[in-house]
Structure 1
Amino acid sequence: MSIKKNVIFKVVIIALLVLRILKRILSSKVVSNKQLVLSFLLVSLTSICLYKFDSITQLIMDPLFNRGGASRFRRRIGRGSGVSDDTVDTVMKRGGLIGGLVNDGNTCFMNSVLQSLASSETFVSLLQDSSLNEREFSCAFRNLMKKLNTKHYKHGHDYKTNALLKTMTKTPDKNFLLGYNQEDAQEFFQTLLSELESDLKKNKKPDEVSPPSTPATSSSSSSSDDEKAVYSSALPQDAVLGNANIGHLGKVYVPASQIDPNLKDANDRYVPYTLLTPVDGLSAERIGCLNCGEMGGIRYSVISGLSLNLPSDNYGALKLTDLLKEWIKPEIIEGVNCNRCALKHVLDYQREQLNKLTSSGSSSTLLIDKLEERISQIEGELKKPIIDDDAIKNLFTDNMMQKSSKSKQILMSRPPPLLAIHINRSVFDPMTYRVRKNNSRVVFPLKLDLDQFVAEPDEINTDARLPMSKKAVAEPVNTEPAEEEEQEQEREDEESDSDDESDDTEKSICSKQEYTEYQNPMSNDSLEGPLVYQLRSVIVHYGTHNYGHYIAYRRYRGVWWRTSDESIDVVSESEVLDAPGVFMLFYELNSLSEEVEDVDLTVDIPELEGSNDEDEDQDEDHDEDHDEDHDEDHDEDHDEDGTAASQAGQRDSDDDDHYNQEQQTSQAFAMANL
C-alpha cells in the first residue's frame, strides 16, 4: 500500500471518529467530564492502533484499491521490453519470485539497499559465518537476506524490516504520522556497514583490527608505524600481499618502506590492515612536491566504496569510467611548504654565506665552524628518503620560507570483492544558495575493468613528479598556464557566449551512439582479467533533492528484477542499462560473481532465538492475506490484471510516470498461464 494512501486512510478514520464524538457531545445537553475523558482515550487508542499495526490498515485498504495483496505476482514481463517466455519458465524452475519489502512509511531508501546487497554472493556468504550466531544484528540481517532470496515460486511474499531495525543502535528518525523521515540510501548503506563491522570486531582480538594509516610526516606517526610493522620473517605463511586473493577478508600487508621509508629496516617490514566486509578495500594516496618529487609517504586507508561527484552543470550523458578517471585525476595544490625544497634553499644560502666569509679572509673561525656544522647537518637530513617535521623545526628559518606546488592523487591499491559506487548528485546552486539535484544520465557497463584505476604497492611511483601508477603514461604537469593558452581560453569563452546553439551538443559528454556501444553487453562478453567486475545491482532515485523515491534493479536467478518496495517485476537487461537517476552501483569481482542458479543462497542458517518472533507472526498473517487474494486473482483476465497493476503502481508514481513515457508498450499476464 502506498505511503500517501496509508496516511490518508489513517487521517480519515481519526477525523471521522472525532466528528462522531463531537456530534454526540454537541447533541447532548449535558457533557460530563467522564464523557470527555472517554472520548479522548478512544481517539488516542484508535490513533495508536492505526500507527502501530500497519497490517490492520493494509488489510482494510488492499481490497479498496484492488491490490489483491501487495506481494501478488503482478507480472508485467519486462513491461514490453522483450523478456521471453523461456526466460520466465527458467526463472520459475529456479525458484520464481524473490521477496519484496514493505514500505513502512518512507522506507524505500532502506529497501533499495537491502535488495541490492541480497544479490551479492560474497556479502550473503559473510552473514552466514557461524561466528556471528550470537550477534543480534547480524542474525536479523542474514535472516532478512535469506527471506528475500527464498524460492517463492508463484506466490510472492513481502517482509518487514522491523526486526532488523530493532537490533540497530542507530536508526533513521521516525515521524508519528508520516513514518520514517526520508534519508539518503548511501547513508543507510554506511549505517548497515557500521553495525556489521561492530559485530565483526567483537569477534576479533584487539590486535587483529588496525586503524587507517597516517602519512609519516611526524615522529608520532613514525613511532606508531614502527609498533605496527611486522618483519617479513614473522609474517604468517598464508599472509596476503598486494592484490593476491581479492576475495580474502582479514589482514593484508603493505610494505612499510612506502608508508615510512625512514623506518628502521623498512625494506624488510610490512604494515597490516584489516578488511572486515566484502565492500572493504585499500586506497593509496600520494601527496608530493612537483619541484623535487618528495612525498611524505603513501597514505593507505581502508575504504568501503567510492563516492563520485558529478559536474555542477547538467550534461546529456556521462560515462562511469570518465567519472572514475576524474576521481584518480591529480589535484594541484599551490602555495604550500615542502620540507626538502625548504632545506635545499637554506643549504644554498648557508653555502653562499660560508663562501663570502672564506673569500673575504674573515678571522671569525667560530662563525665559520658554526656554518660548516649547520651545512653538514642539512646535508645529512637531505640524504634521508623523507624529511620529517622535527628536522625542519631545528634547521629551518621561517623568514626563508619558499612556497612550492604539490600534487595530490588517489588510487585503489586493493579493490574490494564487492565494489559499491555512490553517484553524488548533490550540487550547490550559487543563484539560490540551495543544494539541488544534478539529473545528468550516468552511463554504466555490465562489466567494469578496474585495471587503470588500481595500483599495487610495487606499481606506485614514489617520485611525485611521475604518474602515481607505473602503468600510466607520463604526462607533464603544467601548474602555470602559458599566456597563449590563457588567450585561447578567453576566445573559447567568447565563442561559447555568442553561440547559444552549441550548448546542447557541448553538454553531452558522450553521444547516444557512444554510450550505446559502451553499454552493449555483446562487447563486454569477452572482457576478461583479474580486475574485471560484473554488475550485480543498481539503485535509482526519482524526484528532487529533498524528496523522491528509490528503487533497485538486482540480478538474481539469471535475470534482472525491478524491486520497488512490494512491487517486484522481471525486466530486460536493456531496461537496467537505460535507467535514469542512477544513485548507487554494486559491482562484484567477476571470478566471485557466479550466477545464482549455480549457488544456493537460501541455505538453512541458525537464527537468534526469539529475535524475529514478532516479524514471523506478521509475515504469517501477511502470507494468509496474500494467498487468499492470490487465489482470487488467478481467475482474472489480462485486462483486469493490468488495471489492478496500474492502480497498485500509484504508490511509486514518480518513477512509473517517467518509466511509462519511455516504455509505451506494456504487457501483463496472469501467473496462471505459466
Structure 2
Amino acid sequence: MISRVALGVAGAVFAAVTGAYVMWGPTKRRPKDQCPGLVNIGNSCFLNSLLQAWAACPSLYSWLHRMMRSMSRNNEEGLLTSTIFKVIKVLNNEDDAAPDPFDPSQVFQALRVKRWVITADEQDAHELYNVLTGTLDEEASRYPSILSLFDIKHLQDPHNQYQDEARAYTRSKGLLPVLPLREVDEPTRGLLASQLQCLTCGLRSPVKYDVFDSLSLSIPKSYWGPLSVESLLQQFIRPEVVQGVECSGCAKLAGKDSVKSNFRKKVSLGKLPQVLCVHLPRTQWMNSGAVVKRFDHINFPDTLLMDRYVYSHAGAGDTNRDGLMGGSDLALQMIRPKAAVISSAPPPSSAPVNLLRTLHFDQQFTGTGLFLTSRGCPEIPRELSDINHNAPPEISTKFGCPLYGQPEFSYKLAAVVCHLGDVQLGHFVTYRRGVHDGGVDLKGASSLSPKWWLTSDSTVRRVSTQQVFSSEAYMLFYERIVQT
C-alpha cells in the first residue's frame, strides 16, 4: 500500500516541476542547423575552432567518410581519422545522444598515440592544422612516405612490391619498395608551380611542383591599413629576383665553368584543392626585434575567384611566351576595399602596375602604400615579366587567365577562424556555416548553409553576414564551386 507520506512527497515534487515549467517554460531545443559547442579542456580553443571550421566543410566530411569505408574494407585502423570523423558528425547534429557541449579531448589522445606532443606553448590553430593534415595523410597511406626507424618493419614486409632495378634503387644499390597509392585524395592538398629564368641569357629551369595544404599570405610590413585577400594573392604570385644563382647558360656563353647570375622566380598555383585554406599570419617581427600582431582588417569575399593565380603553359608555337605563367598584376585595383569601387566598367587591358613601371615607380611604394618590390633588388626586364602584362583580354583568356569570361576556379566561403587578443594572450573563435545534411551525397559548396554561427568553445550563437565579413580573419576555409 502506498503511504500518505509517499503521496505527499510525490505531490510536492510534481508541484515543484510544474512551477518550474510555468516560470521558465520548457527546455529549449537547439535549432536543426545550429551546431553543438565544444568543451574547453584547458586552453584548447585552438583545437575547438579548427574542428568547427572543418565540420562546416562538406568536402572534408565526405573525404573522412570515404576514408573510413576504405580503411574498414582493408582492415586498417585510422585512429585520428575515426576520432575526427566522430567529432565532425557530432558537430553536424548526427549523434542525438551526444552531450552539448561535446568533449573533444579524444582528438588530443589520438595525437599522443601518433607521438605528437602538444605543449602549453603550442596553441596555434594553423600549426595544429598542419599537424592534423599531415597525420591524416599518413593514415591515408598504408605507411608514411618518410619512414622513421620505428617503421623499418614496413620495408622488410615480404609482401612488398619493389621498383625495377633499371628504374630506381637506393644509394646502397638496394631495391626501393613501391609506395601504396592513396585510394582517397586529400581535399585540402594542392600544388605550387615555380620556375626560375635567368635575367641575362633567358635560360629557364624545369617547373617545380611543391605540395601545400594552406596558402600563407603575408601582410606587407610597410603597409598598415585595409587590404584584401585578392591583393595578397596577387603579391604572392608576383615575380621576384633571386640573386647569385649559378647559371649553366651564362657559363656556356662565357666559356667558363661557373657563372652566377640573377634569376626571375615565378610562383603560381599548379593544382587547386577542393577545400582551399587561406592563412593570414598576423605575427610580425619588427627591425628592433619586437614581436607585434597585425590587426589590419583584410577584406575577404564570399565567392573567391582563383583563375588569375593558376599556372598555365603556352603552346609549342609561342616561343616567346613559353614557360611559367599565371596571374595579372592587379595589385593597385585589388588593394582597395570593394566598397570604394565606384564604376562597374571592366578594367583596362593594361594592369595599373604597368603604369607604375612607366613612371619608374616599380621599385617603390605604390600610391596606396603597398610595397611591391624590395628596395635595391634588381629590376625584372619587361620582356621577362608576367606574361599577362599589357595583354588584351583575348590573349589573357587564351593563356588560361580569363579576365571577364566565366570563371573556372571559384570558391564559396565555409568558415572563418579568428584570433582575438595579442601575441601574448588570446582566444580563437570560428564563424561557420550552419549544419549540413551529412551522409555520402554532399555536393561541396552547394551543400553549404546560408546561415552563419559564431562558435566560441561551448558558446554558439547566430550572427549576421555583416559580422562575419567584418571580422579579423586568421584562417579562411573555402569550398570549391563545381560548375555544372
Cα pair 1:73 1:568 within 8 Å, conserved: no
Q: TM-score, normalised by structure 2?
A: 0.64
Matching residue's letter, 2:36 = G
Partners of 1:411 and 1:454 within 8 A in 2: yes
Note closer, same or farther for the CA distance 1:181–1:583 as it changes in structure 2 (3 Å cut).
same
- Counterparts of 1:259-278 in structure 2, within 5 Å, are 276-278=185-187
Partner of 1:99: 36
- State how far apart, in whole Å, the 2-side matches of 1:424 and 1:205 are: 29
* Aligned twin of 2:293: 437
Moved segments of 4+, more than 6 Å: 203-206, 223-226, 459-467, 486-489
1:303 aligned partner = 212
Tell me whether 1:418 sits opposite 2:275 in the alignment. yes
Q: Indicate if the aligned counterparts of 1:292 and 1:341 stay in contact, CA closer than 8 A.
A: yes
Residue-by-residue CA offset, 1:476-506 (whole Å, 9 max, x unaligned): x99xx99x948996xx99xxxxxxxxxxx95
- 1:139 aligns to 2:76 (yes or no): no
Match of 1:322 in 2: 231
Indicate the residue corresponding to 1:36 in structure 2. Answer: none
Residue 422 (structure 2) aligns with: 544
Query: 1:332-356: per-residue Cα shift (whole Å, max 9, x none)?
Result: 123332111110111xxxxxxxxxx
Aligned pair partner of 1:113 in 50, 64, 75 = 50
Aligned to 1:455, which of 288, 293, 311? 311
Between the two proteins, what is the percent identity of the paired residues?
26
User: How far apart are the structure 1 equivalents of 2:92 and 2:167?
Assistant: 47
| Aligned-residue offset at 1:316 | 2.0
Q: Secondary structure at the match of 2:280?
A: strand
Provide, for residues 165-206 of structure 1, a one-character-per-residue CA deviation record: whole Å limited to 9, x for no partner.
Answer: 1111244545xxxxx445111000011111111110117999
Whether the 8 Å contact between 1:288 and 1:463 is mirrored in structure 2 is no
- More displaced 10-residue stretch of structure 1: 165-174 or 300-309: 165-174
Distance 2:296 2:33 in 1: 35
Whether the 8 Å contact between 1:462 and 1:468 is mirrored in structure 2 is no
Alignment of 1:466-481 (within 5 A): 468-469=324-325, 472=328
For the residue of structure 1 that corresponds to 2:325, the secondary structure is coil
Relative to 1, partners in 2 of residues 1:488 and 1:507: Cα closer, same or farther, differing over 3 Å? closer
- SS of match in other structure, 1:101: coil
Q: Secondary structure at the match of 1:448?
A: strand
The equivalent residue for 2:432 is 554
CA–CA distance in 2 between the matches of 1:225 and 1:471?
41
Cα RMSD over matched residues? 4.1
Which position in structure 2 is the counterpart of 1:197? Answer: 137
User: What's the offset of the Cα at 1:323?
Assistant: 0.2
**How big is the shift at 1:411?**
0.8
Structure 2: distance between partners of 1:440 and 1:296: 38
- Flag the 1:463–1:298 CA change in 2: closer, same or farther, 3 A: farther
Which segment is superposed worse, 451-460 or 327-336?
A: 451-460
Q: Is the 8 A contact 1:315 1:440 kept in 2?
A: yes
Alignment correspondent of 2:62: 125
Q: 1:533 — aligned with what?
A: 411
Count the aligned residue pairs.
353
Q: Name the residue aligned to 2:446.
A: none
Counterpart residue identity of residue 233, structure 2:
L
TM-score after normalising by structure 1:
0.47
Q: Distance in 2 between matches of 1:435 and 1:456?
A: 39
Letter in 2 for 1:120: C
| Other-structure match for 1:290 | 199
Cα distance in 2 for partners of 1:409, 1:227 equals 31
Structure 2 residue runs without a partner (length 5+): 1-23, 147-163, 170-180, 330-349, 372-403, 436-448
SS in 2 for 1:309: coil
Structure 2 contact 313–324 (Cα < 8 Å) conserved: no
Give the 3 Å change call, closer, same or farther, for CA 579–205 of structure 1 in structure 2.
Answer: closer
Distance 1:538 1:299, change over 3 A: same
Aligned pairs for 1:178-257 within 5 A: 180-181=120-121, 183-202=123-142
Evaluate the alpha carbon distance shift between residue 283 and residue 205 of structure 1 in structure 2; reply closer, same or farther with a 3 A threshold: closer
Where do 1:313-352 residues align within 5 Å?
313=222, 315-346=224-255
Q: Distance in 1 between matches of 2:467 and 2:90?
A: 26
CA positional deviation for 1:404: 2.4
Given that 1:137 and 1:167 are in contact with CA atoms closer than 8 Å, whether structure 2 keeps it comes out as yes
Cα distance in 1 for residues equivalent to 2:317 and 2:213: 25
* Change in 2 beyond 3 A, CA 1:430/1:462: farther
Please give the per-residue CA displacement for 1:457-476, whole angstroms capped at 9, x wherever unaligned.
5679998987832675899x
Query: Counterpart in 2 of 1:427?
Result: 284
Q: What letter matches 2:45 in structure 1?
A: C
Instruction: Classify 1:184/1:205 alpha carbon distance in 2 versus 1 (closer, same or farther; 3 Å).
Output: closer
User: How many Å separate the matches in 2 of 1:282 and 1:418?
Assistant: 13
Amino acid at match of 2:137: E
Q: Is the helix fraction higher in 1 or 2?
A: 1
1:573 corresponds in structure 2 to: 465
SS of equivalent residue, structure 2 residue 40? coil
Q: Is the 8 A contact 1:560 1:570 kept in 2?
A: yes
Mapped to 2, the partners of 1:126 and 1:507 lie a distance apart of: 42
CA distance in 1, matches of 2:221, 2:212: 25
CA distance in 2, matches of 1:140, 1:97: 21
Contact 1:287 1:464 in 2 (8 A): no
Cα shift at 1:139? 1.0
- Structure 1 residues 250-280: Cα deviation after superposition (integer angstroms, max 9, x where no partner): 78xxxxxxxxxxxxxxxxxxxxxx9831001
Q: Quick check: 1:553–1:561 contact (8 Å CA) kept in 2? A: yes
Distance 1:225 1:290 in 2: 38
Separation (CA, whole Å) in 1 of partners of 2:326 and 2:428: 41
Shift of 1:527: 9.8
Distance 1:275 1:328, change over 3 A: farther
